[in-house]
Structure 1
Amino acid sequence: METYYLIIVGVLFILAASDLIVGVSNDAVNFLNSAIGSKVAKRHWILLVASAGVLVGSVFSSGMMEVARKGVFRPENFYFSEIMIIFIAVMITDVIVLDFFNTFGLPTSTTVSLVFELLGSAVAVSIFKIMNTETETIANLGNYINSGKALAIISGILSSVIVAFIVGMVVQYIARLLFSFNYHKSLKFVGGIWGGIAMTAITYFIVMKGVKDSTLISKETINYISDHSFSIILYSFLAWTVVFQILISLFKMNVLRFIVLMGTFALALSFAGNDLVNFLGVPMAGLKAYQIHAANPDIAPDTLRMTELAGEVSTNFIYLFIAGLIMVITLWTSRKARTVTDTEVGLARQDSGIERFGSTQFSRIVVRIARHFAERVDKITPRFVRKFVAKQFDTSKAPKYSNPKEAPSFDLVRASVNLVMASILISSATALKLPLSTTYVTFMVAMGTSLSDKAWGRESAVYRITGVITVIAGWFCTAFITFTIAFIIATALFYGKIPAFIILILVAFGLVIKSNFLNRKKEKTEELDEEINDQSIVIKCSNDLRKYLKDSIKVFNRTVDGLTTENRKLLKEVNQEVSELNMEAKNMKYNVFNVLKQLEADSIETGHYYVQVIDYLRELAHSLEFISNPSLQHVENQHKGLTLEQANELKSLSVQLSGLFDDILAMIKNNDYTSVPDAIEKQQEILNNLNKIRKKQVKRIKRGETGTRNSVLYLGLLNEIKNLLLHTINILKSQRDFILNNIE
């Protein structure tokens, strides 16, 4: 058994390394979104600054390690064997759940995950302990679970959501009144004071509050900081203000860039200082438990109480630094981190466009109520106040970008507020030993600032609210999911012992590997998109069209195969593919505005032809939907299948359509449209064939050879194939005009 527990400790640290990787991928959004969204610098410079913050912050994490040991349960009432079950269940659950959220690009809270995993596994083991005794009942669960501390942690995390949102909203409103969207002009007058406030906050809450738990700073220095806090704040504010004002006046320095980069450093430091416990706390507690067991070889694991875990434990600096290095490497290499960052930046961006989330009845009601409330407030507000506020919030005065790709998602004013306010809240919680969720705080601050900044306009508000609700719902799901999975895994380990341990470890690593393979496929697609994006906008439009038409004919042929063979599984797959094509066409439609701006920037005057291409693509997508969906419903409902003659007719149409699409794809690829008349002639041949097939079907109906369901389906398919043909040729003509008129 000695070897068994040593292996468990080793596995705990292996899982910790994996947890660090998936955890950083999720939490990178916390400190990167403002810098990346505002495009304060090139991505590699932003990552360098964040990496420095993570490394420094990892040194200050030791003060939070007690949460994993005694924050949720009472270790003195558990035996060594039971404690190890709790810890291994937590780590397995954490790796699986965080990797799942990362794969789907949803930010979640590593702190909430840790708390509820500890709670779920500890509750499971506690219940089994109680069941094995005759003197205790479920009412004695409080002897094992630190319910008061757990509730305080949970309530603190949830209340931080409201606080962060309100603080972000209020401070951003004040900041916008000071700077307006034409902030370069206002920087001359208030930039020094704003920079002084921001840097004082960062300096005090990060550097000074953070050093309290570091072994690298002497106690005398820490005591001096505590005794002279007010003086340090005052002198820091005066010094930063004077320095920034001089730099602005003499060197025209944009202090907001400096604030955003320093804020990124500060927030990365806060993240490492606050969240490292979520990844390293449990393995370190497991190591300490094993050391206690090794020091008491005469006591059996099932009888050795973990009383020493309830005391103070210092964490070796080397472990913290290695963890920091792993986090930095992940920060630079993880594609999943980009996915999660894109989710939050998309919800906070200033302009409207393609929205990742749809609208719901709840979001529509919220927007309607908010509009009515705003109208009432507007009526009682003095005219001169309304005029001043409207001037400061006039987005038309924001800097213009000829290329939409160069435009940031939001400006440096909002980015500075996001970072400074989130840093203050997180660092304060860290100093008070409160396991605040960096994800909740940074996300809600960003949502509060975007709402206050009028980023949620009438064109995007319902979608943004739906997105926020989806993310928040995911947070609550995190709590339920992690508690349940940890409970189940702890149960399996408690009764299954070594066999269960081996199976669960294999399952955990198998799920992570499978997830990474899926993500690698997604990465290849993204890399292909990036290569295309580096080309001119005209080439990109042509490549997008070719890909869409190629997928469309593939879907049509698969629908014919599925219907003629009554393959329900194939038709279900095809319907999913059609839904994706429909969404892709919808996104192209929403993105038309940005494409037109890029075409205008390149002095291309044929954008109206591109609009026609997209309109016809939408119609093509609808035709495919009206072909695939009725086919699936017909087979699902077990209606009588197609006759042999009908199947052969559809297959012949499929072959003809494939030939036409091949010709069209070749023309688009080679930019050679001399064969358009030939394509129109082929279209007419297929239309003539369609008319003949329709007449045959009418004769079959008269002879009673086909039933009502069969006839309705078949005639409907023929009509949609006709529409598909018409839209396809229209797409070809519009694409020809788009390309040839552009060349001229």
Structure 2
Amino acid sequence: MEFLYIGIIIFLFCLAISDIIVGVSNDAVNFLNSAVGSKTAKFRNLIIIASIGVFLGASLSNGMMDIARHGIFQPQYFSFAELITIMLAVMVTDVILLDAFNSRGLPTSTTVSLVFELLGGTVALAMIKNIQTDGALTFAQMINTDKALSVILGIFLSIAIAFIFGMIIQWIVRTIFTFNYKPRMKYLAGIFGGIAVTAIVYFLLIKGLKDSSFMTADANAWIKEHTGMLVLCLFVGSSIIMQILHWCKVNILKVIVLMGTLSLAMAFAGNDLVNFVGVPLAGFSAWQDYSANGMGVGADNYLMGSLLEPAHTPMIFLILSGATMVFALATSRKARNVINTEVNLTNQNESEATFGSSATGRRLVQIANSFATWLEKVTPLRVRNWIDSRFNKDEAILVKGAAFDQMRAAVNLVVSSLLIALGTSLKLPLSTTFVTFTVAMGTSLMDRAWDRESAVGRVTGMMSVMGGWLLTAVIAFAVCFAIALIMHYGSFIAMILLSLVALFIIIRSNIRFNKKAHEKEKNKTVFDQMMSSGDPEEVWTLLKGQIQEGTVKELNYVSNYYTNFIDCFVNENLKCLRRQFNTLHAEISDYKAVRRKEILALKRTDPTVSVQASTWFHLESNNTSQLLYSLKRISEPCKEHLENNFNPLPKDCAEEFAPVSEAFLVLLKKATDYVDKFDPTATPTELTKEISAYKKEVAVLRQNNLERFNAESDTSNFNIYILYQTILQETQQMADDLKHLIRAYTYLSTVKGK
């Protein structure tokens, strides 16, 4: 039986590797978003700097894994078998949960997930032990609830404090330096750089290195005793160095951002390593104790009081963990996806709307607008004008392709560093994820990056991310609770099966994500070229190619959907019909996102071209949208009809409609070929005539169906005749939309760039 436990320990370490890869994908946003968003350096160079910080942080950590050993449960009340059950349940849940969030581009807290998974698994086993002992062992004895409550408190504190501090500090900095900060840096570079470097180094000492392997208790005590002197010396020394560097034409903001990135990466690896390998290492320690002392007692009876002792992780584990984290950081597409989510939400310019809108988001923006209107009324005009002059975004100094300037990036890192250091010194469990994200939101708000057009989307995005954090706690607890129960009662069979399920989910998720990421990367490359190009003619050429490719894609989708959906409906295949319908909502959402990108690109073309093309562009895109919405208007009543088991489409109706649907598909194919192989010298006259003739044929069928319906004495076919009329009407409308689409595309494509 013992060899099965050895297999579980090995599997825990395998999951730990996966957990590191998934976890680093999630937490990369903590230390990379500011540098990436401000384009401070090439992404490759940023990865190298962050990798150095991650490797040093992991290697220098002394491996204090107490939260996984006795932070949530009291190990002296649990047997070896019970703790292994909890730990395996935690790791299976953790990998699946983090992978699910990262695949959707949502940052979440690895600390919260670990704590609540441990809590869920512990509650499950504690409940069983409480029942088995007739209440002799209470929940209060077996569970350390204080730790979980402190984490929840830390969540709310970090969200509120970080957002408010981010707004206040950014407002002060921007008021002093403005968006055109270079002239003022001539005199203030030293002071600003000194404050920033002092904050970062202080953060590194307090948060990043306090638990490092070379930091003795005496060294920590000395630093604590002489903190004031160290801070003063740091400030004076760094201020002088920064001012000299500025006089030597060195970009000190770049230095600050890179230093902040390194320190945050180092502290992240050193302090959050427990979130990834703490549970497997605790399991390994438990196995060492059991194999040495508990074989004679048995796994079900040997209590794990040894886990009350502090852990001392072998250096080889720390080095291997650091190397794995570096590999994950350098190769993970999901890390870039999560970073892009936060950068999009803090973008100084217009960017892709990732989250859309929500009723709550709209309401919050309405309240904020009302407050802003009131504040504007009570503020003297001269004060308003002066403040507006300090926040002139037209003067912003942005690196090509940057989402925001390096001044804001520096503020993001400095404020995040200070708040995390403050939380550590006060022993508040602030999460690096919470702090860095909400600081970035606060600074972007103060920089007036949230205009009326994007405010609802940004607020909805914030709510989605923050809701994800809180949802993490609930889901982590519930899922781990259930898995722990199943593993306890199902023993090794359940453990093996659930572990295989976890592996299957991870593999499937990665395959799907890589496929989706490849498609997005292709579209994003063209969009990035359009948004970064300074040549209006090049933008117009790229945009025409993008519109052509997008239109062909949508016409092919409409053709395939129409074919499959009609077949599913006529054959009364509800499962097939639902499967088709489920793809439609995503297709409409994707097309909306593409159209928004194209509108942003159109604004970057020559004004003359933009004016000429604008009308035809909107007509073309609107008619493409209407084709998709017509499919939706056909699909919804058809699905409802089959779900209610109403009468099928009569045979005579199906036979007369078959050639009509085939003819429509032929028109779609011709329209697709016309767009795909567009010839500026050709005209679509013949095709539009065919479509007009087709519309008349469908109109005749509609009239025949009405006459058939009126002549029918049996009312049992009432619903199907009405539905058939809807299908004919929408098919006729789609033909009309197709005709207008071709006309609009022709005029749009003949507009010449300048």
User: Is contact 1:549-1:661 (8 Å) kept?
Assistant: yes
User: Is contact 2:175-2:391 (8 Å) kept?
Assistant: yes
Correspondence list, 1:115-194, <5 A: 115-134=115-134, 136=136, 140-194=138-192
Instruction: Give the aligned partner of residue 279 of structure 1.
Output: 276
Deviation readout 1:534-580 (Å, 9 max, x if unpaired): 69332122111111111122222223222322322233233333323
Distance 1:328 1:722, change over 3 A: same
Instruction: Give the aligned partner of residue 591 of structure 1.
Output: 597
CA distance in 2, matches of 1:106, 1:182: 33
Correspondence list, 1:570-581, <5 A: 570-581=576-587
Is residue 719 of structure 1 aligned with residue 729 of structure 2? Answer: yes
Distance 1:587 1:114, change over 3 A: same
Superposition CA RMSD, Å: 2.6
Alignment equivalent of 2:684, drawn from 653, 660, 676:
676
Is residue 262 of structure 1 aligned with residue 270 of structure 2? Answer: no
Instruction: Give the aligned partner of residue 512 of structure 1.
Output: 506
The residue identity in structure 1 corresponding to 2:510 is N
The residue identity in structure 2 corresponding to 1:629 is E
SS at match of 1:105: coil
Deviation readout 1:501-521 (Å, 9 max, x if unpaired): 211211111111121222122
CA distance in 1, matches of 2:183, 2:733: 56
- Greater shift, 686-695 or 264-273, is seen at 686-695
Is residue 295 of structure 1 aligned with residue 292 of structure 2? Answer: yes
Deviation readout 1:267-290 (Å, 9 max, x if unpaired): 211221221110111111111111
Instruction: Give the aligned partner of residue 628 of structure 1.
Output: 635
- Greater shift, 292-301 or 41-50, is seen at 292-301
Distance 1:148 1:631, change over 3 A: closer
CA distance in 1, matches of 2:481, 2:707: 66
- Greater shift, 325-334 or 694-703, is seen at 694-703
The residue identity in structure 2 corresponding to 1:58 is A
Deviation readout 1:247-285 (Å, 9 max, x if unpaired): 32341x332222222222122112212211101111111
Which residues of structure 1 form unaligned runs of 5+?
none
CA distance in 2, matches of 1:83, 1:575: 46
The residue identity in structure 2 corresponding to 1:241 is S
CA distance in 1, matches of 2:605, 2:734: 28
CA distance in 1, matches of 2:74, 2:654: 70
CA distance in 2, matches of 1:240, 1:190: 13
Distance 1:36 1:649, change over 3 A: farther
Instruction: Give the aligned partner of residue 361 of structure 1.
Output: 359
Instruction: Give the aligned partner of residue 232 of structure 1.
Output: 230
Q: What TM-score do the two structures reach when normalised by structure 2? A: 0.92
Instruction: Give the aligned partner of residue 193 of structure 2.
Output: 195
CA distance in 1, matches of 2:158, 2:64: 18
State the 1:63 CA deviation: 5.7
Distance 1:373 1:318, change over 3 A: same
The residue identity in structure 2 corresponding to 1:600 is D
The residue identity in structure 2 corresponding to 1:206 is L
State the 1:220 CA deviation: 6.1
SS at match of 1:131: helix
User: Is contact 1:178-1:190 (8 Å) kept?
Assistant: no
Instruction: Give the aligned partner of residue 706 of structure 2.
Output: 698
Instruction: Give the aligned partner of residue 416 of structure 2.
Output: 422
SS at match of 1:122: helix
User: Is contact 2:609-2:753 (8 Å) kept?
Assistant: no
Correspondence list, 1:542-691, <5 A: 542-600=548-606, 606-608=612-614, 609-672=616-679, 674=682, 676-691=684-699
CA distance in 2, matches of 1:135, 1:470: 41
Correspondence list, 1:732-743, <5 A: 732-742=742-752
CA distance in 1, matches of 2:644, 2:290: 64
The residue identity in structure 1 corresponding to 2:167 is M
Distance 1:146 1:526, change over 3 A: same
Distance 1:217 1:621, change over 3 A: same
User: Is contact 2:64-2:310 (8 Å) kept?
Assistant: no
Distance 1:636 1:7, change over 3 A: closer
SS at match of 1:330: helix
How many residues align structurally? Answer: 737
State the 1:142 CA deviation: 0.9
Correspondence list, 1:16-55, <5 A: 16-55=16-55
- Greater shift, 317-326 or 189-198, is seen at 189-198
The residue identity in structure 1 corresponding to 2:662 is V
Q: What TM-score do the two structures reach when normalised by structure 1? A: 0.93
State the 1:727 CA deviation: 1.8
Instruction: Give the aligned partner of residue 494 of structure 1.
Output: 488
User: Is contact 1:606-1:742 (8 Å) kept?
Assistant: no
CA distance in 1, matches of 2:343, 2:561: 33
SS at match of 2:751: helix
Instruction: Give the aligned partner of residue 83 of structure 2.
Output: 83
The residue identity in structure 2 corresponding to 1:679 is L
Correspondence list, 1:428-507, <5 A: 428-429=422-423, 435-507=429-501
SS at match of 1:39: coil
Task: Give the 4+ runs in structure 1 shifted more than 4 A.
Answer: 217-224, 427-435, 530-535, 601-606
Instruction: Give the aligned partner of residue 11 of structure 2.
Output: 11
User: Is contact 2:116-2:473 (8 Å) kept?
Assistant: yes
- Greater shift, 467-476 or 530-539, is seen at 530-539
User: Is contact 2:64-2:311 (8 Å) kept?
Assistant: no
Distance 1:111 1:286, change over 3 A: same
User: Is contact 1:180-1:393 (8 Å) kept?
Assistant: yes
SS at match of 2:480: helix
User: Is contact 2:562-2:631 (8 Å) kept?
Assistant: yes
User: Is contact 2:150-2:429 (8 Å) kept?
Assistant: no
- Greater shift, 551-560 or 626-635, is seen at 626-635
Distance 1:133 1:576, change over 3 A: closer
The residue identity in structure 2 corresponding to 1:349 is N
Deviation readout 1:347-391 (Å, 9 max, x if unpaired): 222334542223333323322222222233333333332222111
CA distance in 2, matches of 1:147, 1:727: 62
CA distance in 2, matches of 1:134, 1:567: 55
The residue identity in structure 2 corresponding to 1:568 is L
Distance 1:445 1:514, change over 3 A: same
Instruction: Give the aligned partner of residue 109 of structure 1.
Output: 109
Is residue 730 of structure 1 aligned with residue 740 of structure 2? Answer: yes
Instruction: Give the aligned partner of residue 371 of structure 1.
Output: 369
Distance 1:400 1:719, change over 3 A: farther
User: Is contact 2:58-2:273 (8 Å) kept?
Assistant: yes
State the 1:217 CA deviation: 4.6
SS at match of 1:536: helix
Distance 1:141 1:221, change over 3 A: closer
State the 1:85 CA deviation: 1.9
Instruction: Give the aligned partner of residue 709 of structure 1.
Output: 719
CA distance in 1, matches of 2:335, 2:103: 10
The residue identity in structure 1 corresponding to 2:102 is N
- Greater shift, 110-119 or 489-498, is seen at 489-498
Distance 1:638 1:150, change over 3 A: closer
Distance 1:400 1:295, change over 3 A: closer
State the 1:452 CA deviation: 2.4
Deviation readout 1:444-469 (Å, 9 max, x if unpaired): 21222222222222222222222222
CA distance in 2, matches of 1:211, 1:587: 44
